[in-house]
Structure 1
């Protein structure tokens, strides 16, 4: 039985390597220029969709209009929250869909600012609705970023982050049987930025299903902290105010819990072998 272990391990490694080859070769089939054009078309289409959403929003006063933009800092989020909160009762679904669409846009194109939308969601919506909204937007946006990275990812990541990509590729091969838990762990902990995970995942052969599901589950704990902070948005002076020893402890516990199935699986495997 132990003699078969190296064979099974080598087989799993080959499967991961085949997956990497399959994903990257499909991206290479499309020339860089065509991939850039396709990404540009998707980006422009997204901008047009946001513009259409803006046109559907009720007329705002001149003072309010200047605050209706992507929040780049906490003060922007505060002012935007005050504007949207005024119209939320009468135009609830428009406001909800607006946050949904903008959040996905930021995640899809790896644009900073989604943390402020998480805090804003906690201010505008009931806690559990805000948490579901953020988790869904994160999973959908990350999956779309996964798709775009599959078009250009190998060229960009290998050019600008070759060492990190190679390091994570080795980790993916090592954790090939526990990718879901591994993705959850990466999302809960701050070891790698989310935008880098989104761009690198398809390049190094992470399948979409554990990637999307792991993102949905893994972003819940840090989103829990951000949304809870959003309920007191008017008192926040910086994003660091959202963090406390309690929130750090909660995230640490979730990170450890995500690894428990891996440890149990390894122990059971060693016991029966």
Structure 2
């Protein structure tokens, strides 16, 4: 069996699991028997509808809602499906800031690591085939920052315009250790995740997605990313100074 064929097989298995969860939504003990429509939100209207539905169930079926949310979140991260912002906002609405923040950080890192593993074991040759220039560019950057690789990875995650999906796919090809990858995602996406869940906790007050990421927010995230480069810059300077003194 070709390694790449494992990916649709894994996708089918995880999709089946989500389908089973969604169609076996428990009954409410109250007079309200409306089940509504469970789906991945792709707009603010979808998000508010799904949040309202799951809020009804959370009071009586907290474990079910938690398992469903975690399964859906890891599913999207594993297969690099866009829309993490909606899942983060939903987490804030369902669980509040201080419970959802560590939860989504863990789920983000776990799902990204699953994507890393799919690329490493089943799709490496295809990533190299279809993104040769990007892989070459990233390989050069990794080699340039090898002595401070973790801080470089943090910078990439902190920076708001970084293509996280591509970083997940490319990291095993760049020989980035899985433990370093996991913690760089866990820590590096903390600012982004916190902003999302904090906004999600006030979901009823959001009138458009522009309320989530303002220009000021992007500037703050970019500033945090630049701070992550400081240790890397210092380590490079020290290394060059040491080489000159030899």
1:91 equivalent among 29, 37, 61: 61
Is 1:54 paired with 2:22?
Answer: yes
For the residue of structure 1 that corresponds to 2:2, the secondary structure is helix
Contact 2:160 / 2:222 at 8 angstroms: preserved in 1? no
TM-score normalised according to structure 1 size: 0.80
Which residue in 1 is equivalent to 2:118? 148
Which residue in 2 is equivalent to 1:14? none
How many residues of Structure 1 are paired with residues of Structure 2 in the alignment? 240
Alignment of 1:22-171 (within 5 A): 34-59=2-27, 64-66=35-37, 68-171=38-141
Stretches of structure 2 that go unaligned for 5 or more consecutive residues are: none
TM-score normalised according to structure 2 size: 0.89
Deviation at 1:37, TM superposition (A): 2.5
C-alpha distance in 2 between matches for 1:204 and 1:39: 21
For the residue of structure 1 that corresponds to 2:60, the secondary structure is coil
For the residue of structure 2 that corresponds to 1:158, the secondary structure is helix
2:218 equivalent among 243, 248, 251: 248
Contact 2:92 / 2:197 at 8 angstroms: preserved in 1? yes
Deviation at 1:235, TM superposition (A): 2.7
Deviation at 1:266, TM superposition (A): 2.9
Of 42-51 and 205-214, deviating more is 42-51
Contact 1:153 / 1:202 at 8 angstroms: preserved in 2? no
Which residue in 2 is equivalent to 1:28? none
Deviation at 1:92, TM superposition (A): 1.6
C-alpha distance in 2 between matches for 1:177 and 1:168: 15
When the two chains are superposed, the root-mean-square deviation of aligned CA atoms in Å is: 2.1
C-alpha distance in 1 between matches for 2:241 and 2:130: 43
C-alpha distance in 2 between matches for 1:62 and 1:166: 56
Residue by residue over 1:93-133, the C-alpha shift from the partner in whole angstroms, topping out at 9 and shown as x without a partner, is: 22122111110000001111221000111111121211111
Contact 2:78 / 2:114 at 8 angstroms: preserved in 1? yes
Which residue in 1 is equivalent to 2:191? 221
Deviation at 1:57, TM superposition (A): 2.8
Contact 1:119 / 1:226 at 8 angstroms: preserved in 2? yes
Contact 1:187 / 1:219 at 8 angstroms: preserved in 2? yes
1:200 equivalent among 158, 170, 174: 170
Which residue in 2 is equivalent to 1:30? none
Which residue in 1 is equivalent to 2:149? 179
Stretches of structure 1 that go unaligned for 5 or more consecutive residues are: 1-32
